[in-house]
Structure 1
Amino acid sequence: MVSVDEPEEDDEEDEVYEFAEEETEQESNPIPPTEDEVREHNLGTAENPRPIFLSALLGEEERAEYMRLLQEFSDVFAWSYAEMPGLDPEVAMHRQHIREDAKPVKQPQRKFHPAIMEKIEKEVQKLKDVGFIREEQHPD
């Protein structure tokens, strides 16, 4: 005998199946991201620029309110790695949990387009300069 208060198992399975079917349809027809035009604004000075980007679709009043808010709290944003000296290593440090008896294997260097490689090297050097990363030396 089936209680009136409890749905039958078949009903629950049907609901789960319908839900999964809806999710699959949404995944197969993703909505493309909007590509609103943005405008660059400077929260800093000419000597020390602090660029931000706001939608060009904002009205003048909204833009002014965002600028006021961002300027008020500009001290919480970092525009360079040097402005983040107080990061707790327990939160920000990557650790690899490797078995003690495992031998490190050097991977071949990945190839990038020369224009991109130059940007990568500059970014890595910035991280090294402020002590965010260091080059690890292996015995091999």
Structure 2
Amino acid sequence: MLSSQERQQYNNLLREFKDVLAADYRDMKGIPPEIAEHRIDLLSNTRPIQSQYYQLNPNYTARVKKELDKFLEA
């Protein structure tokens, strides 16, 4: 846990460099996918494994959809 003084120092540092740090994923537009995305290299003779689907709690469905829409927008 950070002390209030450490928290203030971090906040000041982030404000000082706000022109080079993204505060939100929407601020990261224009970054080439080669830099921002990662990939998992598979062996040439293997197939990806498909996991079974599971049901999401109905209370979370709207919240998850909203988050996925944000990611797709970015």
TM-score scaled by structure 1? 0.36
CA–CA distance in structure 2, aligned partners of residues 84 and 78 of structure 1: 6
Shift of 1:94: 4.9
Q: Which residue of 2 aligns with 1:58?
A: 4
**Unaligned segments of structure 2, at least 5 residues:** none
The answer on 1:114 being equivalent to 2:49 is: no
CA–CA distance in structure 1, aligned partners of residues 8 and 23 of structure 2: 21
Q: Which residue of 2 aligns with 1:72?
A: 16
Aligned length: 69
**Unaligned segments of structure 1, at least 5 residues:** 1-35, 37-54, 131-140
Q: Which residue of 1 aligns with 2:28?
A: 84
TM-score scaled by structure 2? 0.57
Higher normalized helix content (fraction of residues): 2
Larger Rg: 1
Shift of 1:84: 0.6
